[in-house]
Structure 1
Amino acid sequence: MDVMQLLEYLQEIVETASKVPITGKIVLDKKEILEVIDQIVNYLPDEFKKAQWVLTEKERILSEARKEYEVVKKETMEMLKKQVENHDITKEAKIRAQEIIAAAQRDAKSMRLGARDYADEILCQLDKELEEKGKIMISNIKKDAEEMMASISEDFTNTTATIRENIKELRNVK
Structure 2
Amino acid sequence: METVQAAGGTPAPATTDPYRPPQIETILRQLREVVLNARPMPLSASSMLNKEELLGLIDEANVRLPEELRAARWLLKEREEFLAKVRREGDEILELARSRAERLVQRTEVVRTAEQRARHLVETAREETRRMRRETEDYCDQKLGSFESLLGSTRDAIAQGRRRLQETVLDRDRERRATDAADAAREASTGRPGGTFFDQDAETGEP
Q: Give the TM interval when normalised to the shorter protein.
A: 0.5 to 0.7
Conserved? CA contact 2:93–2:125, under 8 Å: yes
Partner of 2:122: 97
Partner of 2:190: none
AA of the residue aligned to 2:83? E
Size of the alignment, in residue pairs?
131
Partner of 1:134: 159
CA–CA separation in structure 2 for the residues paired with 1:93 and 1:138: 68
Which structure carries more relative contact order (alpha carbon 8 Å, separation 6+)? 2
- Of 118-127 and 106-115, deviating more is 118-127
The correspondence of residues 1-174 of structure 1 with structure 2, limited to 5 A, is 43-45=66-68, 46-72=70-96, 74-75=98-99, 78-79=102-103, 82-83=106-107, 86-148=111-173
| Residue-by-residue CA offset, 1:108-130 (whole Å, 9 max, x unaligned) | 10110111111111211222222
- How far the C-alpha of 1:89 sits from its partner, in A, is 2.1
CA–CA separation in structure 2 for the residues paired with 1:64 and 1:127: 37
Determine helix, strand or coil for the equivalent of 2:77. Answer: helix
CA–CA separation in structure 2 for the residues paired with 1:84 and 1:109: 39
TM-score of the superposed pair, with normalisation by structure 2: 0.46
Which structure's CA Rg is the greater one?
2
- How far the C-alpha of 1:48 sits from its partner, in A, is 0.5
Conserved? CA contact 1:69–1:100, under 8 Å: yes
Conserved? CA contact 1:47–1:122, under 8 Å: no
5+ long unaligned stretches in structure 2 = 1-64, 184-193, 196-207
Conserved? CA contact 1:76–1:90, under 8 Å: no
CA–CA separation in structure 2 for the residues paired with 1:50 and 1:136: 30
RMSD: 4.0
AA of the residue aligned to 1:95? H
TM-score of the superposed pair, with normalisation by structure 1: 0.54
Change (3 A) 1:87 1:94: same
CA–CA separation in structure 2 for the residues paired with 1:44 and 1:93: 50
Conserved? CA contact 2:86–2:129, under 8 Å: yes
CA–CA separation in structure 2 for the residues paired with 1:58 and 1:152: 65
- How far the C-alpha of 1:153 sits from its partner, in A, is 7.5
Q: Percent identity?
A: 8
